[in-house]
Amino acid sequence: MSKPVTRKESPKRDLVIVKNLVKYFPVRAGLLQRVTAWVQAVDDISFTIREGETFGLVGESGCGKTTIGRTMLRLIEPTSGSVTFDGQEVFALRGREMKEMRRNMQVIFQDPYASLDPRMPIGESVMEGLNVHGIGTPRERYENMLEILKKVGLEDYHARRYPHEFSGGQRQRIGIARALALFPKFIVCDEPVSALDVSIQSQVLNILKDLQSEFGLTYMFIAHNLSVVEHISDRVGVMYVGKMVELTGREELYENPLHPYSKALMSAIPIADPTVKRERTLLKGDVPSPLNPPKGCRFHPRCPVAIDKCSLEEPLFKEVKADHWVACWLQ
């Protein structure tokens, strides 16, 4: 059994490199189920995630953040692009190789109830990864499972119980335990706290943080709650309708956002001080449909500072400052 790894000294190494990732979903209609249109869920996105860090991904509902996570794990097949994990091209792997790769990258889902099999005792669910990969003897797997349950604050006797016997927070901790059981290097956390009570959210976030330092985990943390992302992330990417518009360190983003969309988002975070007044950037209109996104910059119809060029040409995603990437013509 692999031992808990202590955090590497130089966290600068790129663990995951996503290049030009594209995922279009076909829209079928009619008797022959012909493809009539494409939902451009993720359109040409590139970023890197460094070893040991937490990479936050924020954006409105339907902007494609969950699709990115699932495509990276090949829970959905990509349309094009590449994902390199630890030097290995994930999309080129087949069969056995992919199965081995899955030991390295795991996922925690948004809905902790739906992600657990209602007819399986939770111990069995947590052990499933070990069973699938045939790691150790049945006895060792069982011992491992109990140890991992303890790590997320559950006891031995919980292992025999079924998901319906647990509260939401407990279920999410079971989900974390399941992801952890294979000792992965990288975990995609797909809105792991947005289905939970606010009081439980911080509990789960703290467990995630503790496990990260104990096992040297790398997270990709998908969320729409900006305060949660600020609490947990090292670097943050901001998405808008299938595109990444800004990517930088957490502090830089929250103090000095450059893209007009990020600015509007940041100004919407509530401050727990009624005496503080600040300028709020209110956006007009609705989020465009990824079925038929606007030409040029996808944000231009709602942008308060758009110029003519914005509606004609798509801005490049470029590094305007050290470690600060923006896709905007005004930068």
Binding site for other proteins (CB under 8 A): 70, 73, 75, 98-100, 102-103, 106-107, 109, 111, 114-120, 125, 128-129, 132-133, 152-155, 158, 160-162, 165-167, 169-170, 173, 175, 178, 182, 202-203, 205-207, 209-210, 231
38 to 22, 268, 312, 313, 314: CA distances (angstroms): 12, 32, 21, 21, 19
Cβ 186 vs Cβ 215: under 8 Å: no
Smallest gap from residue 91 Cβ to other proteins (A)? 16
Smallest gap from residue 225 Cβ to other proteins (A)? 15
d(CA 6, CA 230): 24
Distance of CA 103 to the CA centre of its chain: 18
Q: Which is nearer to other proteins, 175 or 260 (CB)?
A: 175
Cβ 152 vs Cβ 112: under 8 Å: no
Q: Which is nearer to other proteins, 131 or 267 (CB)?
A: 131
Smallest gap from residue 319 Cβ to other proteins (A)? 31
Among candidate residues 219, 215, 213, 218, the one with its CA nearest the CA of residue 193: 219
d(CA 135, CA 194): 33
Q: Which is nearer to other proteins, 209 or 250 (CB)?
A: 209
Smallest gap from residue 83 Cβ to other proteins (A)? 14
Smallest gap from residue 38 Cβ to other proteins (A)? 19
Among candidate residues 231, 226, 222, 229, the one with its CA nearest the CA of residue 107: 222
Q: Which is nearer to other proteins, 70 or 185 (CB)?
A: 70
Cβ 245 vs Cβ 328: under 8 Å: yes
Q: What are phi and psi of 266, to 5 degrees?
A: -65, -35
Smallest gap from residue 134 Cβ to other proteins (A)? 10
Among positive and negative, which fits the CA dihedral 84, 6, 233, 59?
A: positive
Among candidate residues 273, 283, 310, the one with its CA nearest the CA of residue 294: 310
Smallest gap from residue 74 Cβ to other proteins (A)? 9
Q: Which is nearer to other proteins, 130 or 258 (CB)?
A: 130
Q: Which is nearer to other proteins, 47 or 109 (CB)?
A: 109
Q: Which is nearer to other proteins, 18 or 127 (CB)?
A: 127
DSSP states of 239-299: EETTEEEEEEEHHHHHH---SHHHHHHHHTS--S-TT------PPPS-PPPTTSPPSSSTT
